[in-house]
Amino acid sequence: MEITLLRSATLLVRYGGETFLIDPMLDPAGARPAVKNTPNQQPNPLVELPDGWEELVDQATVVLVTHLHSDHFDATAKEMLKKDLPLLCQPEDLETIRDAGFNDLRPVEAQLQYGDITIDRTPGQHGAGEIGKLMAPVSGFVFRAPGEPVFYLAGDTIWCDDVANAISQYQPEVIVVNGGGARFLVGDPIVMTADDIARTHEATLYARIVVDHLEAINHCLETREFIATRLVELNARDAVTIPSDGETVRF
């Protein structure tokens, strides 16, 4: 399999003979206001997509939207993506995506078979306490296919029992986690921090972990450099890849 990071949580994943476009955030830099009630009030996205992103998006044979927050499925994606592309989503988001004009929707209840690929949906916690409840629903997804590593896309979640249970149940060999420690002015982070990433590593010492969701949204405060340094301190750096925008990681 191959994972190309476009920007933030937007990935191109080549897996099981398909090319998945995951969480397409395709707006130009500065197209949207900063997330309200958060630090670092700058318009989003903070950075442009890498050169050649249009050609990469055109390679997609299927789209996967983990949830509907605008940094995972934005106005430009809704406008430019082909409406007949197969689009996988959590059932809660089906009608909203259909209203955007997409006509080949494949909601993933518990499990979905897509060609030779088995896709299981997993829960997550997009923050703790009342903030986490307000940010829901979110989902992760586990991919399995002949000749491919088991791949766990954790989605927008903190380290929690849901993530630990998914790792225990599916024994993934590749895990993508959304880092950056995004937060509001009050409350705890709503996606993984460097310490959460280290806990993920501790739960599965043999898996490779890829960190995305970095340096593109105003309230994601943990940078690539900070995460790399902190993971060294926590003895978890060797298992973790932190790609740059436009970089491809192969497994």
Q: What is the pLDDT of residue 21?
A: 98
Residue 229: pLDDT band by 50, 70, 90 thresholds? Answer: very high
Mean pLDDT of 63-69: 98
> Do residues 109 and 96 touch, judged by C-beta distance below 8 A?
no
DSSP letter assigned to residue 23: S
- Whole-structure pTM over 0.85, yes or no? yes
Strands (E), 160-243: 174-178, 208-212, 240-241
Examine the pLDDT at 168 and tell me if it is beyond 90.
Answer: yes
Cβ-based neighbour number of residue 140 at 10 Å: 24
Distant-in-sequence contacts of 137-143, Cβ < 8 A, 24+ apart: 137/67, 137/90, 137/92, 138/66, 138/67, 138/90, 139/66, 139/67, 139/90, 139/108, 140/66, 140/166, 141/64, 141/66, 141/88, 141/108, 142/166, 142/170, 142/172, 143/15, 143/16, 143/117, 143/118, 143/119
Mean pLDDT of 44-70: 98
Q: What is the pLDDT of residues 152-166, one digit of tens each?
A: 999 999 999 999 999
* CATH superfamily name and code, 2-250: Ribonuclease Z/Hydroxyacylglutathione hydrolase-like (3.60.15.10)
- Determine which helix (DSSP H) or strand (DSSP E) holds 7, and give its type and residue range: strand 2-7
**What are the structural domain ranges in the chain?**
2-250
Average pLDDT, the chain: 97
Interatomic CA distance for residues 158 and 166, integer angstroms: 13
Mean pLDDT of 212-224: 98
Nearest to 171 by CA among 139, 147, 144: 144
**For a pLDDT cut of 90, what percent of the chain falls above it?**
97
Q: What is the pLDDT of residue 249?
A: 98
Q: What is the pLDDT of residue 205?
A: 83
Strands (E), 43-173: 62-65, 87-89, 105-107, 111-114, 117-123, 139-144, 151-153
